[in-house]
Structure 1
Amino acid sequence: MTALSSAERGEVDVAVVANPPAGSLQGLPGLRLIQSLWAGVDRLMLDSTLPPDVPVARMVDPHMNDAMAQTALWAVLSLHRGFFDYARQQAEACWLPLPQRRADEVRVSVLGLGQMGGTVARALQAAGYAVTGWRLGAEPPASPSPVPSCSGLPALPGLLAQTDVLINLLPLTPATTGLLNAELFARLPKGASVVNLARGAHLVEADLLAALSSGHISRAVLDVFATEPLPTAHAFWRHPKVTVLPHAAAATDPRSAAAVVAANVQALRAGRPLAHQVSRSAGY
């Protein structure tokens, strides 16, 4: 934005951004919409200089949701069928078929039932898994869903106790930061697995390493981290029970994302309600 002249800055009414430098959206008197290219807007919302009266919209792209569901399905299938263990056995030239459960015997809990979480939960249910969703807020869902769900912190311990694979797709807010911690892991059955596809700050990394070392958590699939790129000396890289992805579970596809942005710009121009507007108080 610094390359724009004063006259040009006065003509800007829409900012399409990912993680712009703090303060870069100041001094745009005509700004009427901040459209994020990312599903998560936690870093964007940390910018205290964002114009308070300008709506912020997050990226909700069905193609991105489908990509996230594909990653989650791969992770659950690999955990369920022991494919991570077979990869290790191949490296050791070990021929050892493992016990095989049915999908409906694998209890999967999805934390977060927004656009991505809901898509993931339905895809896993369609694949035959016993899926339950959880939302932080106690309010009922906006629309009916075939996936059983519960809500509110009081319901979480009971859900965790009945979970074989825990998938995190919560938005990052002060209430969810550090939620994946020692207390939560202890409530899971011994041998459960953790899949974090949301934000690195949801996870207390030292607590996960301790739970893996004790054997209480059997394996973790991690796509997001407190520091990205993940430092080369980090224990996760070489941990035998951790699978690392480079924040690649669901990338923004320019083709479909451009259509989402264009539709919101058209709505703005026409005076129609904006899609997927962020609640400043909730942070998502």
Structure 2
Amino acid sequence: MINALFAALPERWTQYEKTLNDAFLEAGLQVDLRTSFAPEVVDYIIYAPNSPVQDFRPYTRCKAVLNLWAGVENVVGNVTLTQPLARMVDPGMTQGMVEFVIGHVMRHHLGMDLHINGQDGQWRDHVPPLAQDRRVTVLGLGELGLACARALSELGFPVTGWSRREKFVNGIACLNGEHGLQTALENADILVLLLPMTPATENLLNTDRLAWLPKDSVIINPGRGQLIDDGALLESLDAEHIGHATLDVFRVEPLPTNHRFWSHPRVTVTPHIASETRAKTASQVIAENIRRGEAELPFLHLVDRAAGY
């Protein structure tokens, strides 16, 4: 019997108990899944970083910590965590993110706000360009960014992708490094942020880099709130350099009611709904990693501790 500790908030247990047990059965695994064990008998920890479990030293038998979140910035620096750490790469989350990004890119590309908000009797004959004439840049070519970049490219948008490490993807102009970042931003009529949060990416969009974007460009951020310097963004919006910002993630969540983003006419706030881990598909990912661990195969989606993701 494999002992798996579910270390997350109680509402997650309600959401995941059945789907995890179903996934274990489907994978042919005999797993005793509980929210409490003596630490020394735990084989795997199914983990959310806001769990009460913050000291991993008592879990001497634990073979891996399997994160339920895509982001690991709140756990990767934990010095007590010496076990392998796997991040969540969930097909359901990926599909949800693609749908969110495509929806908002198309919203801005087609100028839909003009007609949705402009029901005032004026006949506005705005005709958008074709996708082939609207340049889109995706910052971050991990699992989520790459899926979004490919979907946008298939719709006919010229897509530039930027990542910290060099990548080659058919149909995507891939750039990296500081010079590549400037080129990527200069070619972004619509910019999508899907980078992880690391010390190297915090405030990536600052005053100088926002100035590299074309006038009236649009920013869509479903990645991490810390990727953007809020003050610099507000200044650029006030100066009418940035045309609009659709923001789904923030430094403080829920976003405080007195934050200027709520009232700014060039900002759309969505409440961190771009995508979320889906219990059914995430449970299948967890089950596969436990199956691999028991078969002494390499775990999937291991975190690079040095890179932070």
Same fold (TM over 0.5): yes
- Superposition map of 1:166-245 within 5 A: 166-245=191-270
Counterpart pick for 2:98 among 57, 69, 85 = 69
Aligned to 2:281: 256
1:118 Cα deviation after fit: 0.4
Aligned amino acid, residue 181 of structure 2: L
Q: TM-score, normalised by structure 2?
A: 0.85
Cα distance in structure 2, aligned partners of 1:69 and 1:89: 28
Does the aligned pair in 2 maintain the 1:110–1:167 contact within 8 Å?
Answer: yes
With over 3 angstroms needed to count, the CA separation of the structure-2 counterparts of 1:18 and 1:145, relative to structure 1, is farther
Aligned to 2:72: 41
Aligned to 2:154: 126
| Aligned-partner SS, 1:66 | helix
Cα distance in structure 2, aligned partners of 1:34 and 1:231: 33
Does the aligned pair in 2 maintain the 1:165–1:194 contact within 8 Å?
Answer: yes
Aligned amino acid, residue 223 of structure 1: D
| Aligned-partner SS, 2:74 | helix
Aligned amino acid, residue 44 of structure 2: V
Equivalences, count: 275
| 1:16 is aligned to 2:12 | no
| Aligned-partner SS, 1:185 | helix
Map Cα deviations across residues 225-261 of structure 1 (whole Å, 9 max, x no partner): 0000111111111211111111110111001000000
Cα distance in structure 1, aligned partners of 2:270 and 2:187: 27
Q: TM-score, normalised by structure 1?
A: 0.92
Unaligned runs of 5+ in 1: none
Aligned to 1:106: 134
Cα distance in structure 1, aligned partners of 2:142 and 2:179: 20
Cα distance in structure 1, aligned partners of 2:184 and 2:59: 47
Cα distance in structure 2, aligned partners of 1:259 and 1:22: 23
Cα distance in structure 1, aligned partners of 2:53 and 2:78: 5
Cα distance in structure 1, aligned partners of 2:95 and 2:182: 29
Map Cα deviations across residues 83-118 of structure 1 (whole Å, 9 max, x no partner): 12222213x454423232111110000001111000
Unaligned runs of 5+ in 2: 1-6, 8-34
Aligned to 2:171: 146
| Aligned-partner SS, 1:116 | helix
Cα distance in structure 1, aligned partners of 2:288 and 2:171: 29
Task: Report percent identity of matched pairs.
Answer: 38
Aligned to 1:29: 60
**Alignment RMSD (CA, Å):** 1.6
Map Cα deviations across residues 16-43 of structure 1 (whole Å, 9 max, x no partner): 1122246243411111111111111111
Cα distance in structure 2, aligned partners of 1:265 and 1:245: 35
| Aligned-partner SS, 2:117 | helix
Map Cα deviations across residues 96-145 of structure 1 (whole Å, 9 max, x no partner): 232321111100000011110000000011111111111112x344xx43
| Aligned-partner SS, 2:175 | strand
Cα distance in structure 2, aligned partners of 1:25 and 1:87: 51
Map Cα deviations across residues 10-69 of structure 1 (whole Å, 9 max, x no partner): 1112111122246243411111111111111111223333x22x1100111122111111
Aligned to 1:160: 185
Aligned amino acid, residue 239 of structure 1: H
| Aligned-partner SS, 1:89 | coil
1:193 Cα deviation after fit: 0.8
